[in-house]
Copies of this chain bind each other. A is one copy, B any other.
Amino acid sequence: MKVVAGIDIGGTKTKIGLVDKDGNNLVQTDFYTREYFDLNAYLLHIVNTIKELHTQLPIPGYTLVGIGIGAPNASSRRGTIEHAPNLVWKGIVPFLDELKKLIDLPAKIMNDASAAALGEMLFGHAKEMKDFIVVTLGTGFGSGIVANGQLIEGFDGFAGELGHTDLTLGDGRLTGLGIKGGLEAYVSSTGLKRTILYMLCKYMDDSKFRSFSYDDLHGEDIMKAAEEGDPIALKAFEYTGRILGFALANFTAFTQPEAFFLMGGLANSGSWIFEPTKKYLEKHLLEIYKGKVKVLPSGMIGKNAAILGAAALIWEDFKK
């Protein structure tokens, strides 16, 4: 029996799990990424953690056959992490080369949202699909694109940064990367909070959020307020879905996916975000696309999508 190590490198935590061919995350642990300013110390800790997890497997006899890694700003083609704003290692980090000095196993690295798309294809709701896009709506807006049954990697491995496309000709909200009008400034957990402020500014409706500071706003509260009929929360979801639906209509004109899968904090708001998104997507689609594009919850919700996606990088090769 084979098992693959899936590693999710986040700005705060690094999560590691051992994943079997059916997408079961058999054992798992995590640690704080920021405790390892030195890359080699970090990689050594990863290798030791994998070995330790391997001894903790509930059944013995699994062979570790590879390591898949999802990380922000990772180039799949070059095995690097480059200029990742939320990570402590700066510049161009030759991640895979350094890792392979410490452990002799097949290893791959990829943008975390692209890894999530592979996870959706191998273990989620896209098993029968050849053309789909996974959108991760957390603090930011990530995306992984599959077309012709293959992940789109891009010329040097940085394809799928749809959260940084701009729908406002450079005249909108600033993103964390300083992009004016970037989609993730509108459509993400952070974007939704910003939109609450925008609606409080634009309209004079009563709202529980008039007594909240920006720092006190949380996605779950906004969903709860929408359920209670808070007009500002309702307007914020409608606006967010309008922008997302509009963006998905543009994306459809690119690779014409069969479905968009949404995951992450904002996607967990369920119909509050799905309904306006579907409505405005359909409204803005070209005639040849109308009625053909699905917007679905990811099949990875409730699972550890990031670890499974990372493991999928390796499992994909064994399934070919």
Contacts and interface: CB of A to CB of B under 8 A. Distances in A.
A41 interface: no
A95 interface: no
Contact of A168 (B130, B169, B255): B169
A167 interface: yes
Nearest to A286: B164
B255 A152 contact: yes
A106 interface: no
Contact of A165 (B83, B131, B254): B254
- Chain B CB count within 10 A is highest, among A155, A162, A165, for A155
A289 B161 CA distance: 11
Chain A binding surface SS class: loop
Interface in A272-303: 284, 286-289, 292-293
A157 B256 CA distance: 8
A289 B33 CA distance: 26
Contact of A288 (B147, B158, B258): B158
Interface in A110-135: 130-131
Interface string A138-150: 0000000101101
Nearest to A130: B155
A251 B168 CA distance: 14
Given A161-B253, A167-B167, A284-B170, A131 B147 contact: no
Given A148-B152, A292-B156, A286 B256 contact: no
A256 B148 contact: no
B246 A82 contact: no
- Chain B CB count within 10 A is highest, among A154, A156, A284, for A154
A230 interface: no
Given A131-B155, A156-B292, A83 B287 contact: yes
- Chain B CB count within 10 A is highest, among A147, A157, A170, A249, for A147
A284 B177 contact: no
A250 B255 CA distance: 14
A17 interface: no
A309 interface: no
Given A154-B255, A156-B292, 13 more contacts: A131-B155, A148-B150, A148-B153, A150-B150, A152-B254, A154-B256, A156-B256, A166-B167, A166-B249, A167-B168, A169-B243, A169-B246, A177-B286
Interface of A: 73, 82-83, 130-131, 145, 147-148, 150, 152-162, 164-170, 177, 179, 243, 246, 249-251, 253-258, 284, 286-289, 292-293
